[in-house]
Chains A and B, each alone.
Chain A
């Protein structure tokens, strides 16, 4: 059966437009970054990347992203389930509240955490008295990263779960399926792509976040410097090649995430084909 937009002419036109526009708009900046990173040869690139402080920044950035994803995942799924499967007063407000991170400039996001948990903040001063430091250490970086990225999973799930409606789950529940079984067997297979996109976006944003992290990190080299902060310092200090080497690494992390997603998709489609 023919589907919409399957006519060869339409198809070619749309693919062509998408490719050309993306090439100009997205690929060109990527090429420019790699061109800058390797502008003084591969050797210089490796010198910049293999530096102890760069490696430490990469490690910290990845650990923060790895810790952020599960937190955002649990929250996102819980919230999406709540607002799309139940009706209760305040539902819209709750749904809008999760957009706060988008509505707040990242620097302001960092600042509000600092004002609360910093030395003069009302929670921070208590913590300071007990010699616990959240800000200017990795917990602070994790906290603002979670703040900045927490809406993504929920935001991906809500439109989809709303569009799907809850008939399938209700049918399963009526037939006597237990809560978790319904979720694992019925809901999860239906939302897995949106969930995956949510994770990808969360990861991308967690890895690349600069504004909020710069406020709470303290940017101590070899301790609390994330890759984006390290990049900024290199750039400020006239090591543009080193800065772009870090940028290339960040782009690479995004591409690797996508490669992981592609292999998941491939495996899933193979399993379906086998069944």
Chain B
């Protein structure tokens, strides 16, 4: 049994800093994350179970889950492919404009989401630069479901790129040199040798992008059209309830998004742990 296996079984702790890092982490998580969340559940406590159920299963709200989830899934898939491509290009190649491309990656985060929304709506409306090109092709983006997915993809692309990038950068050159020397084609070598290292980061990035899209509001409302049952997103339902001073109702709908997101992220974390163990286990 090697060191690693010993460590994973928890029988020895060679490395220092357990107490300090545990202290900081637990204190921070309790104060900054968990304590405020109790406020959300405090609001829920004002509702009976039946009330809670009727709020979260109301027809229009359910329709909004469908719209949000569907669009977020499409956006996340687009980002998985596009983000992997961008990360690869940024790490592996030298070309003019690389610095600018790298800089562009963070743009969606730095822009307040409302700006992103207004700008995208301007570009993709039938009078906009993109809209004018796409509309004759029969593809209407603004005020449809496609526009929602587009806005989600825009706001969450940095998650994938910036999660994959450091892992790719860290991959030693020997890894693919070895694969290439065995005579595998690029594609096979990429799939067999590189991808196993990237999976955890790629899945995490995509998962985060998906979850972020579920909660997004500002970037989407300007391009969504917000027609009842068709292009209303869940975040809008929460916003509406807040406008009505209905904190409990808002918290109820928000809690659904919270649970779905956390369940998904927990699943990713567990899967990731197993995956990494398998990867390293194979080596050891």
Q: Which of B97-114 contact A (CB under 8 A)?
A: 97, 99, 101-114
Q: Cβ of A211: which chain B residues have Cβ within 8 Å of it?
A: 113, 217-218
CB distance from B135 to the nearest CB of A (A): 16
CB-based contact A79/B25 at 8 Å:
yes
B158 and A14 within 8 A (CB): no
CB B15 to nearest CB in A, in angstroms, measures 5
* A116–B214 CA distance with the chains assembled, in angstroms: 24
Residue ID in chain A nearest B197 by CB atoms: A163
Q: How many A-B residue pairs have CB under 8 A?
A: 338
Report the interface size for chain A: residues with CB under 8 A from the other chain: 110
Tell me if B50 counts as interface (CB < 8 A to partner A): no
Chain B residues 20-59 with CB under 8 Å of chain A are 20-22, 24-26, 28-29, 32-40, 42-43
**Which residue in B28, B36, B251, B280 is a CB contact (below 8 Å) of A75?**
B28
Taking a contact as CB atoms closer than 8 A, the residue among A28, A116, A262 that contacts B35 in the complex is: A116
Q: Give Cα A107 to B242, complex, Å.
A: 9
Closest to A215 in B: B242
Partner of B110, one of A93, A113, A193, A208: A208
Task: Report the bound CA distance from A251 to B254 in whole Å.
Answer: 30
Closest to A174 in B: B14
User: Does A94 make an interface contact (CB < 8 A)?
Assistant: yes
Task: Flag the segment in A15-23, A40-48, A125-133, A267-275 that touches B.
Answer: A15-23
Contact of A121 with B by CB under 8 A: yes
A134-163 interface code vs B (CB 8 A; 1 in, 0 out): 000000000100110010000110011011
Contact pick for B88, options A14, A101, A262, CB 8 Å: A14
The contact of A107 among B92, B165, B239, by CB within 8 Å, is B239
Q: Does A49 contact B (CB under 8 A)?
A: no
In whole angstroms, what is the CA distance A3 to B174 when docked? 9
Q: Which residues of B contact A32 (CB under 8 A)?
A: 119, 122-123, 129
B201 at the interface (CB under 8 A from A): yes
Q: With A33-B119, A86-B18, A100-B33 known to touch, is A21 a contact of B261 (CB < 8 Å)? A: no
Contact B208 A155 (CB under 8 A): yes
Assess the B119–A29 pair: CB atoms within 8 A. Answer: yes
Residue of A86, A98, A244 near B15 (CB, 8 A) is A86
Partner of A19, one of B42, B101, B119: B101
CB distance from A140 to the nearest CB of B (A): 12
- A121 adjacent to B39 (CB under 8 Å): yes
Q: For the complex, is A63 an interface residue (Cβ under 8 Å from B)? A: no
Contact between A30 and B162 (Cβ–Cβ < 8 Å)?
A: no
Q: Is the CB of A184 closer than 8 A to any CB of chain B?
A: no
Tell me whether A201 and B158 are in contact in the complex, defined as CB-CB below 8 angstroms, given that A78-B20, A210-B112, A247-B111 are known contacts.
Answer: yes
Could you say which residues of chain A place their CB within 8 Å of the CB of B212? 102
In whole angstroms, how far apart are the Cα atoms of A135 and B262 in the complex? 27
CB closest residue in chain B, given A244: B115
Q: Which residue of B lies closest to A17 (CB)?
A: B85
Can you name the residue of chain A whose Cβ is closest to the Cβ of B4?
Answer: A165
Contacts A/B (CB < 8 Å), 30 sampled: A4-B186, A5-B92, A10-B186, A15-B89, A18-B85, A18-B89, A21-B86, A26-B108, A26-B154, A27-B104, A29-B120, A30-B107, A33-B119, A75-B25, A79-B25, A86-B13, A99-B262, A103-B262, A106-B218, A108-B251, A147-B36, A155-B163, A159-B163, A179-B15, A179-B16, A197-B162, A200-B162, A254-B109, A257-B106, A258-B102
Given A100-B33, A210-B218, A257-B110, 14 more contacts at CB 8 Å?
A3-B180, A4-B189, A4-B194, A21-B82, A87-B7, A92-B270, A103-B215, A103-B262, A106-B217, A107-B217, A113-B36, A156-B163, A166-B15, A231-B112
Residues of B within 8 A of A (CB): 3-4, 7-10, 13-18, 20-22, 24-26, 28-29, 32-40, 42-43, 82, 85-86, 88-90, 92-93, 95, 97, 99, 101-116, 118-120, 122-123, 129-130, 153-154, 157-158, 162-163, 165-167, 169-170, 173, 176-177, 179-181, 186, 189-190, 193-194, 197, 200-201, 204, 208, 211-212, 214-218, 235, 238-239, 242, 247, 250-251, 254, 257-258, 261-262, 265-266, 269-270, 272-273, 276, 280
